[in-house]
Chains A and B, each alone.
Chain A
Amino acid sequence: MSGFAKTRITWSGITRTYSIYFVLVALIALSSVINPNFFSGGNISNVSRQISVTTILAFGETILIICGLLDLSSGSVLALSGLLSVASYKATGSMAIAFAVAIFIAMLCNFISAMMVTRFAAPSFIATLAMQEMARGSALLFSKGQNIYQIGDYTQVGQGSIGFIPIPVLFLVALFAMTWYILKHTRFGRALYAIGGNQEAAKASGINVNSVKLWAFLVNGLLVGIAGVLFMSRVNAGLPNGAINYEFQGLTSSIIGGTSFSGGIGTAGGTVVGAFIVGFLNNIMNLANVNSYTQQIARGAIIALAVIYDIWTKNRRTSILVKGVAK
Chain B
Amino acid sequence: MLKRISLVMLVVIAFAGGISAQAKVYKVAYIARAQADSFAAWLANSIVDEAKKYKNIDLKVFDGRANDDTENSLIENAITNKFDVIIIQPNNGESQRPYAVKVVQAGIFCITTNARIAGIAGASSVDADPYEQAAVNARMALKQIPQNAKVVVLDGPPGNFHADSRRVSWQNEFFAKRPDVKIVGEQIANWNKDEAMRYMEDWVQANPKIDAIISMNDNMAAGAIEVIKNKPAYKSTLSYGVDGTAEACLLIKAGLMTSTCLQSAYALAEKILDTTNKLVTGKSGQINTDIDAPLVNKDNVDKYIAMHKKAGAIK
Interface residues of A (CB under 8 A from B): 35, 37, 40, 42-43, 46, 49-50, 136, 140, 144-147, 149-150, 159, 231, 234-237, 239-244, 282-283, 286-287, 289, 291-292
Contacts and interface: CB of A to CB of B under 8 A. Distances in A.
B193 A242 contact: yes
A145 B202 contact: no
27 contacts: A37-B205, A42-B205, A46-B201, A46-B202, A46-B204, A145-B35, A145-B36, A145-B45, A146-B45, A147-B193, A147-B245, A147-B247, A149-B247, A150-B250, A234-B194, A234-B197, A235-B194, A237-B222, A239-B194, A241-B36, A241-B37, A242-B193, A283-B202, A286-B203, A289-B185, A291-B186, A292-B187
Contacts of B187: 286, 291-292
Chain B interface main SS type? helix
Nearest to B312: A146
Interface size of B as a range? 35 or more
B201 A40 contact: no
Given A50-B198, A292-B188, 14 more contacts: A37-B205, A40-B205, A140-B35, A146-B45, A147-B193, A149-B250, A235-B193, A235-B197, A237-B193, A241-B38, A242-B194, A243-B194, A287-B205, A289-B185
Contacts of B192: 241-242, 244
Contacts of B184: 289
Interface in B18-49: 35-38, 40-42, 44-45
Residue of B35, B44, B185, B205 contacting most chain A CB atoms (<10 Å): B205
B202 A286 contact: yes
B45 A144 contact: yes
Nearest to A279: B198
Contacts, number: 94
Contacts of B205: 37, 40, 42-43, 46, 283, 287
B194 A146 contact: no
A286 B201 CA distance: 10
B313 A282 contact: no
B199 interface: yes
Nearest to B40: A145
A49 B226 CA distance: 14
B223 interface: yes
Contacts of A237: 193, 222, 247
B315 interface: yes
A235 B247 CA distance: 12
A173 B41 CA distance: 38
B18 to A, nearest CB: 39
A146 B226 CA distance: 19
B167 to A, nearest CB: 13
Given A149-B246, A289-B186, A140 B315 contact: no
Nearest to B41: A145
Contacts of A42: 205
Contacts of B142: none
A145 B185 contact: no
A239 B193 contact: yes
Report the 6 A-B pairs with minimum CB-CB distance, sorted nearest first: A145-B41, A286-B202, A292-B188, A241-B36, A43-B205, A287-B206
Contacts of B185: 286, 289
A61 to B, nearest CB: 19
A286 B187 CA distance: 8
Contacts of A144: 41, 45
A200 to B, nearest CB: 40
Contacts of A292: 187-188
A284 to B, nearest CB: 9
B185 to A, nearest CB: 6
B314 interface: yes
Contacts of B41: 140, 144-146
B194 A231 contact: yes
Nearest to B194: A235
A49 B200 CA distance: 13
Contact of B199 (A146, A159, A231, A286): A286
B38 A150 contact: no
A235 B206 CA distance: 21
B36 A287 contact: no
